[in-house]
């Protein structure tokens, strides 16, 4: 590296250290969001330039002369050598879901500092490394999936557990994201109308693409986007209408049932008619909003109103129970380390990689981009006044069932807020109330709306931007629900097929309907449980989701560690072992506390005991059963990962002692014939 280059990187490193120090050490005064942006961007740059490059060169020895599966198995559909920046965008669009947006908003209850540091450091040393190594491993193995690699590298137990863990995660994921949508839309005719309008718009797009203008996806999506924007404007009039307002003003239970019915219908309808056009639309809107939010934050540079730490680091937080360790690190999964990414890194992406050197920016770089989305979500949450943030995100069961009681409780915590402040804010965004809107989506929408409105238009456009943000979140969450239910159906069919030769035939319509009902019933049960939970549902479901996602990351890192061990012996073991050790510590501690803590607000079993000891009514038995079920699910997830971890340790021990075959199972080396102009 030349002297100028060294000096430039030294400046970046000093800037990263200065900004990280600044956000960590400043107390008692609001901090500008630009500190977070610069700290994150500079740390990512250092991680990308030095750590990822070291892994690419020394550990993986990426070799552009080696033909990738995209070239060797080219079929023009799945396997296709693609420009690296297009693969980058494609991979980022695939990994960026609601997780990096909602997780940081919820974790902001500890203050901005713990979550921000975890997002930055976790991504650079853990999440991006996991995505990078799994993508590399999959590319070297003909684009095999995580489950297939687990079976080959660790054994049959590993493969089976990976499949089962994914199915369990899927069910928890669908329930929790559905709950986020329900909590965002309850009692909101404007929001409900806008989201309801996206259904006929998607059907229209499906028919347009199939019969009127086949193949014109971008054109059709532009029309769909214009119609969605029109529905946001129309939503205001609907909400104000004495006739239509009440029709679209649904309670939490009514919305939950509507989402369950939607999930069933959307996953059994022909894909071209509903799911695909909706997915195209939501992908474009998602990417557009992420870019717009980044521009908005850089342009407005808002100050963070939440402190670096709140009193709730002690585990008494109203949004979810548990101390900053371990719960901050499981609440923010997707923005720092997400096991789900390993499924994408071993899914579509490895089949598009044209040259091995592209694995580096795609695998590592996309995760850094996702981490930056999480930083933006953290900023959007923290620009709210703390009192408003807690009034929106706290359930009635914690802060009190009336607005007066809620503001008294929250103000008593040292975060002043009044009923009139909340009423004014609700009326500014066209809502009847913003109290008890748990789940993170409404507070994120408020923060985003505040940033966009400050960019131009002021309070007059706050309502539009709030509902635009709600539409954006609900649109892609509902797409995930439809697609996830469909995938869950396939997984269920695969599991049944392993047990019965009859089921190996393609599922007929009856099989499709039955499997869909099973999957919808599974996540729908947890959704209804969340809606009925007096503590708001997020308190129990989001940690369960975080634990399951991080446990899947542990599975992925076990596979990655085995591969590195076979490639180099113990030399580079620390690269995946350090994040693995951290995740295992965090998730097992969190699982233990969620099951066995004596605090009924935190521990599932203690919560069941408390309910059993109290007055009994019609719903008590169901609540007790739900708490016990959550404990069992949490225990099963931890047990599954303990098994795969022990199995991996057994294999690592054999590899280190030389008693086990250390041959890597990579595809044979074939010289690449791909010309630069082809990509």
Partner 1 sequence: MRRFGKLLTALLRELADENAYQRHLARHGRKHSAAEWRHFCEHRLRAKYAQAKCC
Q: Applying CB under 8 A, which residues contact partner 1?
A: 75-78, 80, 82-83, 85-86, 89-90, 93-99, 166, 170, 173, 177, 209-211, 214-215, 217-218, 221, 271-272, 275-276, 280, 283-284, 287, 333-334, 338, 340-341, 343-344, 347-348, 479-480, 483-484, 486-487, 490, 545, 549
CB of 577 or CB of 583, closer to partner 1: 583
SS3 32: strand
Shortest Å distance, C-beta 574 to partner 1:
27
Give the CA angle between residues 535, 425, 113 to the nearest 5°: 60
Q: Rounded to an integer, what distance in angstroms lies between the CA atom of residue 487 and that of residue 66?
A: 33
In sequence order, what are the beta bridge partners of 66? Answer: 671
Cα-to-chain-centroid distance, residue 142 = 27
CB of 182 or CB of 417, closer to partner 1: 182
Shortest Å distance, C-beta 286 to partner 1:
10
Maximum Cα–Cα distance across the chain: 77
> Other C-beta atoms within 10 Å of 605: how many?
19
Q: Rounded to an integer, what distance in angstroms lies between the CA atom of residue 451 and that of residue 465?
A: 9
Shortest Å distance, C-beta 99 to partner 1:
4
Alpha helices in 108-186, H assignment, sequence order = 112-122, 128-139, 146-153, 156-185
Shortest Å distance, C-beta 35 to partner 1:
28
SS3 278: helix
Shortest Å distance, C-beta 641 to partner 1:
17
- Exposed, middle or buried, 334 (CB in 10 Å: 0-12/13-18/19+)? buried
CB of 76 or CB of 658, closer to partner 1: 76
Q: Rounded to an integer, what distance in angstroms lies between the CA atom of residue 517 and that of residue 621?
A: 25
Tokens representing 294 are 């980044």
Q: Rounded to an integer, what distance in angstroms lies between the CA atom of residue 342 and that of residue 399?
A: 39
CB of 107 or CB of 343, closer to partner 1: 343
CB of 471 or CB of 487, closer to partner 1: 487
Shortest Å distance, C-beta 619 to partner 1:
30
Shortest Å distance, C-beta 32 to partner 1:
29
CB of 172 or CB of 429, closer to partner 1: 172
Q: Rounded to an integer, what distance in angstroms lies between the CA atom of residue 236 and that of residue 345?
A: 41
CB of 461 or CB of 513, closer to partner 1: 513
Shortest Å distance, C-beta 217 to partner 1:
4
Q: Rounded to an integer, what distance in angstroms lies between the CA atom of residue 440 and that of residue 101?
A: 8
CB of 327 or CB of 340, closer to partner 1: 340
- Exposed, middle or buried, 390 (CB in 10 Å: 0-12/13-18/19+)? buried
Residue that is written with structure tokens 């050598």 in the block: 81
Interhelix angle 128-139/538-568, rounded to 10 degrees, is: 50
Kindly report whether the peptide bond that precedes residue 326 is cis, defined as omega within 30 degrees of 0. yes
CB of 249 or CB of 548, closer to partner 1: 548
Shortest Å distance, C-beta 486 to partner 1:
6
CB of 42 or CB of 679, closer to partner 1: 679
Cα-to-chain-centroid distance, residue 39 = 22
Shortest Å distance, C-beta 350 to partner 1:
12
């Amino acid at each position: 590296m030349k002297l100028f280059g060294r000096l430039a990187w030294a400046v970046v490193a000093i800037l990263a250290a200065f900004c990280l120090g600044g956000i960590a050490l400043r107390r008692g005064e609001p901090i500008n969001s630009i500190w977070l942006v610069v700290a994150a961007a500079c740390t990512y740059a250092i991680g990308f330039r030095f750590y990822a490059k070291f892994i690419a060169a020394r550990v993986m020895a990426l070799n552009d002369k080696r033909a990738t599966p995209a070239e060797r198995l080219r079929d023009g559909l799945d396997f296709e050598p693609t420009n690296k920046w297009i693969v980058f965008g494609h991979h980022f669009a695939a990994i960026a879901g609601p997780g990096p947006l909602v997780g940081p908003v919820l974790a902001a209850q500890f203050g901005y500092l713990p979550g921000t540091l975890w997002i930055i450091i976790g991504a650079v040393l853990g999440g991006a490394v996991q995505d990078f190594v799994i993508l590399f491993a999959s590319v070297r193995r003909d684009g095999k999936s995580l489950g297939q690699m687990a079976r080959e590298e660790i054994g049959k137990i590993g493969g089976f557990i990976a499949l089962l863990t994914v199915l369990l995660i899927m069910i928890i994921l669908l329930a929790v994201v559905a709950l986020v949508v329900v909590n965002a839309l309850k009692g909101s005719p404007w929001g409900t109308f806008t989201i309801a309008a996206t259904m006929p718009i998607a059907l229209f797009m499906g028919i347009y693409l199939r019969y009127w203008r086949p193949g014109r996806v971008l054109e059709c999506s532009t029309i769909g986007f214009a119609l969605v924007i029109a529905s946001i404007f129309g939503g205001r009039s609907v909400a104000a209408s004495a006739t239509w307002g009440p029709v679209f003003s649904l309670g939490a239970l009514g919305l939950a049932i509507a989402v369950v019915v939607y999930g069933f219908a959307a996953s059994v309808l022909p894909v071209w008619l509903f799911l695909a056009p909706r997915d195209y639309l939501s992908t474009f809107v998602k990417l557009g909003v992420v870019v717009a939010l980044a521009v908005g934050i850089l342009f407005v540079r808002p100050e963070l109103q939440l402190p670096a730490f709140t009193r709730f680091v002690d585990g008494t937080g109203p949004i979810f129970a548990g101390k900053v360790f371990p719960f901050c690190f499981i609440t923010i999964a997707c923005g720092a380390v997400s096991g789900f990414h390993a499924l994408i890194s071993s899914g579509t992406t490895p089949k598009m990689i044209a040259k091995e050197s592209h694995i580096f920016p795609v695998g590592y770089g996309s995760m850094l981009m996702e981490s930056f989305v999480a930083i933006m979500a953290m900023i959007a949450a923290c620009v709210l006044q703390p009192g408003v943030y807690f009034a929106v995100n706290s359930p009635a069961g914690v802060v009190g069932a009336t607005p007066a009681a809620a503001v008294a409780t929250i103000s008593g915590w040292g975060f002043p807020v009044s009923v009139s402040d909340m009423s004014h804010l609700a009326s500014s965004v066209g809502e009847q109330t913003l109290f008890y809107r748990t789940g993170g989506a409404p507070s994120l929408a408020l923060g985003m709306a505040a940033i966009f409105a400050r960019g131009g238009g002021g309070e007059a456009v706050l309502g539009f931007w709030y509902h635009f943000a709600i539409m954006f979140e609900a649109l892609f969450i509902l797409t995930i629900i439809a697609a996830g239910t469909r995938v869950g159906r396939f997984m269920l069919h695969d599991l049944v097929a392993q047990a019965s030769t009859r089921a190996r035939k393609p599922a007929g319509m009856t099989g499709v309907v039955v499997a869909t009902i099973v999957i919808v019933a599974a996540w729908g049960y947890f959704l209804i449980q969340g809606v009925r939970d007096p503590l708001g549902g997020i308190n129990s479901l989001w940690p369960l989701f975080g634990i399951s996602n991080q446990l899947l990351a542990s599975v992925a890192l076990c596979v990655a560690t085995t591969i590195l061990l076979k490639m180099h012996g113990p030399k580079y073991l620390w690269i995946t072992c350090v994040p693995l050790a951290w995740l295992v510590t965090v998730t097992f501690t969190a699982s233990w506390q969620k099951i066995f803590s004596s605090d009924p607000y935190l521990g599932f079993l203690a919560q069941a005991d408390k309910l059993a000891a109290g007055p009994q009514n019609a719903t008590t038995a169901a609540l007790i059963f739900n708490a016990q079920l959550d404990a069992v699910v949490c225990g099963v997830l931890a047990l599954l990962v303990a098994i795969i971890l022990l199995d991996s340790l057994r294999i690592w021990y054999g590899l280190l002692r030389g008693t086990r075959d250390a041959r890597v199972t990579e595809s044979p080396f074939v010289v690449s014939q791909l010309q630069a102009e082809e990509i």
